[in-house]
Amino acid sequence: MKDLVFATNNAHKVEEVRNKLNGLFSIRTLSEIGCTEEIPETSDTLQGNASQKSHYLHDKYHCNCFADDTGLEVEALDGAPGVFSARYAGPAKDSEANIDKLLAELKNKSNRRARFRTVISLFLEDKEYFFEGIVTGTILTERHGNGGFGYDPVFQPDGYDCSFSELTMEEKNSISHRGRAVEELIKFLNGAK
Ligand code: IMP
């Protein structure tokens, strides 16, 4: 079985991909390949960041690998916070502060349309491929639910009358930006075996 390095140490993300790969590739995490340094993410686009991370691994470890990057893109804020979603309210990457800032920015706006977008960059046999997943929805005026992470309490996906926080993990994964990008990746990998 071929190894495929996922540029993450997030156990939940790894589990999701492993479950869908039907044992065709063996997913390895950063810590499993001995990569303990912080991988640079200095681009101003999601695609640029995903690509920067997978290039870094490919150049340094000469491996098949992939990396993802996600942002929340809000229409009335011209796509912000976008690639800066994690650090919207400052370098501390504080989700509560990020949500507070988002709600304040949207206070007098009638258009609350938004989407999450994930881009994956894959290096397979020295060639790069990109995959994307999007989920559209609206930003609620206050927090709903306790589950999930990041902006989940204020994001209501289209077709649902609750926030991402109020969905089970399985429900969220089946419609989420990341779930959809991973589906595209898996379809490709299952065909590339
Ligand atoms: P990352 O690229 O997966 O690290 O995501 C960057 C930032 O986007 C995170 O720090 C969160 O603020 C936000 N984000 C990404 N995915 C989600 C999600 O599924 N729900 C809520 N927020 C998310």
pLDDT one digit per residue (tens) for the chain, 193 residues = 889 999 998 887 888 788 777 778 999 999 999 999 999 999 999 999 999 999 999 999 999 999 999 999 999 999 999 999 999 999 999 999 999 999 999 999 999 999 999 999 999 999 999 999 999 999 999 999 999 899 999 999 999 999 999 999 889 989 999 999 999 999 999 887 5
What is the rounded CA–CA span in Å between residue 22 and residue 26?
Answer: 10
What are the residue numbers of the active site? 69
Q: Which two tokens stand for residue 149?
A: 């992470």
The residue whose CA is least distant from atom 17 of ligand 1 is 150
Q: What is the pLDDT of residue 77?
A: 98
Q: What is the pLDDT of residue 11?
A: 85
Q: What is the pLDDT of residue 104?
A: 98
Indicate which atom in ligand 1 lies nearest the CA of residue 176: 19
- At 131, phi and psi to the nearest 5? -135, 150
Task: Tell whether ligand 1 has an atom less than 6 A from the beta carbon of residue 70.
Answer: yes
Q: Which two tokens stand for residue 192?
A: 């590339």
- Count Cβ neighbours within 10 Å for each residue of 47-62 and write b for 16 or more, e otherwise: bbbbbbbbbbbbeeee
The residue whose CA is least distant from atom 16 of ligand 1 is 70
Number of Cβ within 10 Å of residue 193's Cβ equals: 10
What is the end-to-end Cα distance of the chain in Å, rounded? 10
Q: What is the pLDDT of residue 16?
A: 79
Q: What is the pLDDT of residue 193?
A: 56
